[in-house]
Amino acid sequence: MARNSTFQFKQFTIRQDKCAMKVCTDACVLGAWTDLDNAGRILDIGAGTGLLSLMAAQRNTKSEIDAVEIDFDAFTQASENVEKSPYSDRVKIYHAAIQEFDSVFQYDVIISNPPFFQDDLKSPDKKKNLAHHANSLAFDDLIMAAERLIAPAGKLQVLFPVEEGTRFQQKAENAGWVLNRKLTLAHHAGKNPFRLLMEFQKAEKNPAPLIVKMLYVYENDRVTYHSSFRDLMKDFYLIF
């Protein structure tokens, strides 16, 4: 996906020249895949451009959405994107670290595309470090924030690279969360997966069976978008 300063979706526009994290395919998949049924209140941890919040607002027209972003430039840009969208009355952006964010509400859905590289070498770009590396939001911090802010039956929906996602799953399960759904994302058949999307809830006595699926971005010709990907993204991408 091109790293343009503006990305146009069917119902809103993302301006991203101030943000280290640009619009990317995996984040769009998370926004379209997340279960938002009966979600009166949604929390977006690490709002970035505001992409996930705006996708959630489009998909669930009755939800109220709070989004938290630690980087000031990203917070400013997300606020501008929300203000110019059709959903400005239902989305609020907060400039804060999630560890310090407090709310009178509990959230039915928490969605996050968090900084995920725990050990990798860092970039000279400080903003990219903040966006990509977990110094500002370690896995344990994300889990504790979710436990503090989620409603009793709420769902935590996250996106990680495969290796980091496996590590996060272990930490979440050790903390008493149950994995409900897992989507493995790959560019095409025969290509190693590059992302895991996971949905967790706090442990119940009789949890529902785990739903595991695979999604390919492209057909085997590596050019044509896969039909399942088209179906998932058709409400958002202009090309569909």
Domain boundaries, given as residue ranges, for the chain: 6-233
122 Cβ neighbours under 8 A, 6+ residues apart: 129, 133
Digit-coded pLDDT (tens) for 90-149: 999 999 999 999 999 999 999 999 986 444 444 454 555 444 444 558 999 999 999 999
d(CA 138, CA 123): 18
The angle subtended at Cα 203 by Cα 201 and Cα 209, nearest 5°, is 75
Q: Which CATH class is domain 6-233?
A: alpha beta
The CA-to-CA distance between both ends of the chain, in Å, stands at 15
d(CA 141, CA 110): 14
pTM over 0.95: no
* DSSP run (H or E) holding 186: strand 177-186
Digit-coded pLDDT (tens) for 178-235: 999 999 999 999 999 999 999 999 987 778 899 999 999 999 999 999 999 999 999 9
What Cα–Cα distance (Å) separates residue 177 from each residue in 30, 37, 118? Answer: 19, 20, 21
